[in-house]
Structure 1
């Protein structure tokens, strides 16, 4: 009877031993994985060394753009898995705004993922080396700097030259005026195609203006008291008055007696002895025919001093503008 009991125990022991060995082997192949997802900690045990299977075993669903990173060696039985959740980022560049799903990184890397290349002078906000977190957006400003030339006209001046070769009142252009040109160079910065700043780098004269020269006639004919008088020159002069009333001297610089019709001039302008016809430039008064016989310390340039018999007449005359014809 004992012999039969021993024979039954042997198979049962064999089954228990085999089961124990199998369970021990399974326990020895189990990996402990710690998973962090949005601030929560999960611990799973798995036979697989694949972190994605560990995440699935924890019941964590991954979005299409989510990423996982793993630290530690799962093949050695322990590992830490970090779930990086993707978030939307608005990128404004080249006149449009589009959205990109990203798990983060530097601004430069996110732009690279979006296929956006920065030029050497482009601006980006935030800075390209900054780490972007959820809630942050990116703006790219395209910057172009170039030198531009602005050409401007320089107006010419006009010079008038008197000549007795022309009758009084006539004129002619002897040298045509021509405008010059100046070139100003600007450093112009454009941002997203619009001008942002303009700085002058300097101005150069590309072409000097040419002065226009006009000759005006001082010769011709004038009428007085029904008679025509030819003249060689005509002047616009400042006319004053003087008298010898109450004075001891009565003679002019030419040695003649001071009288009405004997006038004082600058002999460097009108030679002494010249016959003159003098009248108001506005036509309101007429002195008449005269002779340049006298000079005076204050009579210089285009100035003429007219003789009157009395001091009262001089006061009434005052200072006027006269047209003085030098008669032939």
Structure 2
């Protein structure tokens, strides 16, 4: 009995020691074990428990490889702590387009702004991208960069001076006298042009300023009447009157003509009336055609478009009519013109004046004018 009792005691001691050792080992294991989250390219996540001490060791154990040029945070030699997060980003290929050039470039990021930052591509304040700067993209997607440049052009235009005729009752009728010579003024027009990747996409008139006002030409026109000489009676020797004579023996009749004094000289006309004038040019926005399209640059009369061509309503002004267009707001006259074109919006007392550029057409805008139908 005593012998069995001793054996049992020794057996119990051994079991106790083994249990304590197991508990110690379990405690050490539990203490040394760390739970780590691994994120790969923002779309794969995994959580592992490990006894490994560094980032590199746990990645090796989990057979996770980082591609050349990839990104690891924290670095491979960093010691791990429980709850650490390991972020892995492998390089991805994107197509970067600037203007007509497309290049394939690699980045570990997947948001447009982060990709451009990673590639050291800077955008100016007005530049933009397609897709939007804050959007996510996929590998092999194209990112287009649009470089925006604004430029201010200054154009100086002449302002035609006015011809002023004043009556002078001290100056004989039929005579004239220049009191003041005319001088053209200058108007400064500022045009904002917007370019995208070097291509002009818009131009707008932002201001108009009269730098120097025109000086009118002043002419005095004589109105003083010339007295007719008295009638002289010539008699024969016998005292009988022979004839009556005057210094102006011939009487003349004058036919009244329709004449007008314009900024480009005097004109003879059949008829004159006021209309509303607009302007057009050869841009697609104005004429609805591009170079190469059928009928591009050809008028309704079949002639080539050019400065001096006017679009009219043929019911009001027949095609082929010679005209003079006078400004009614003090600006330069459009001048001599020919009615050779028509337009869908030109009805009734409206005309459309051709200008060689979009900026000139926009600068003219919409104005009241006087139309003279010339003889």
Higher strand share: 1
Q: What band does the TM-score fall into relative to the shorter chain?
A: 0.3 to 0.5
